[in-house]
Amino acid sequence: MVVDSLVRTGVLTEIDGVPIDELVTVEPLDDGDGLGWRTRMRFASTNDGFLGLREHNSHTVLRADGCPLEVTEIRSAISDSKGWPSPSKKADVVVVASSSGERAIEFVNDDGKIDKLKAPTSEIPTDVAIAGTRGRSWVSEEANGRSWRVAIDGFWQVHPRATETLTRTILDLLQPVAGESAMDLYSGVGVFAAAVAQAVGDGVVDAVEGDKSAVANARRNLHDMSQVRLHHASVESWLANESDRHVDLVVLDPPRSGVARGVVEQITSFTPSRVCYVACDPASLARDIALFRKHGYSVSKIAAFDLFPMTKHVECVALLTPSKVS
């Protein structure tokens, strides 16, 4: 699937003379059976008040007493409790089991806003936080030797080994050098910005994120890193206001749909020597790679990981560098 997207959409058939199908290997993160890895789940409720999952491409909710992909801590947080808000409330139930051992529940409505609907608290273990009812609205995650504050419904990789795997891959591809300048676009709670900042030392890292909650948490997470400058703005608007400057490195981890219109042109205008693109959708990556090529950048290396076992989704990391002039 990855190769097909790169060839058909990205028109990328080879790298340095080696056919792309010989270069792409989707690496597993463990030797398990592909089950029991998901640390974040989003449930809906059935008409009779049980938690369930929607059928594919449907609003129909089927009761689910367990999902083979979820970690056991997810199920133990909600048990088989009944009395969840009816579907008419249009609020999904987000359940998180963090790497630090914390468990939390939050209601999110159709607009993505937190809803203070009440859970059947009498049946939920007392150590499980319920946003708006008891405990905190965030959880603590552990990765790369640091602790990270993440909103319950905020973005964090769902596979336990994904964050450290991607961070290590980015550093391996970029090879940051002390004193270099960098941008981390779609920076979330600051994981990649922190890793790059450690590598560039007294260099500067601009981290840009459009989600207000993620930026607030990043500010706490990176309070000890003065070389990281946090910006709460859409990537495209922030880049549009930054002109006539050079940056050495760029990391971008956009949503599944890829970068917004014009972002590739804006990035290449800063003439970075290395761009690391993290993508959870090979088709979006391939489309954006084609745009980078139009602006003088080509793929030097590409890695792919099975971060979502038993599903069709594959995570890719591509290194783009200025095209060689013959």
Report, as residue numbers or ranges, the catalytic residues: 280
Determine the Cα–Cα distance for residues 15 and 198; give it in Å rounded to an integer.
Answer: 30
Do the beta carbons of residue 148 and residue 216 sit within 8 Å? no
CA 275 to chain centre: 17
Collapse the DSSP code of 164 into the 3-class scheme (helix H, G, I; strand E, B; otherwise coil) and give the result: helix
Q: In terms of C-beta density within 10 A (0-12 exposed, 13-18 middle, 19 or more buried), how is residue 202 classed?
A: exposed
Q: Which two tokens stand for residue 125?
A: 């273990």
Q: How far apart are the first and last CA of the chain?
A: 32
Determine the Cα–Cα distance for residues 60 and 54; give it in Å rounded to an integer.
Answer: 5
Whose CA is closest to 93, among 52, 137, 47? 52
DSSP class of residue 34?
A: S
Give per-residue burial for 203-219: e unless 16+ CB within 10 Å, then b.
Answer: bbbbbbbbbebbbbbbb
Whose CA is closest to 286, among 264, 262, 271? 264
Determine the Cα–Cα distance for residues 80 and 216; give it in Å rounded to an integer.
Answer: 35
Place of tokens 């489309």: 287
Give, in order, the Cα–Cα distances in Å from 307 to each of 5, 105, 184, 208, 300.
18, 23, 21, 24, 22
> What is the sign of the dihedral through the CA atoms of 166, 258, 223 and 172?
positive
> What is the sign of the dihedral through the CA atoms of 322, 185, 165 and 203?
positive
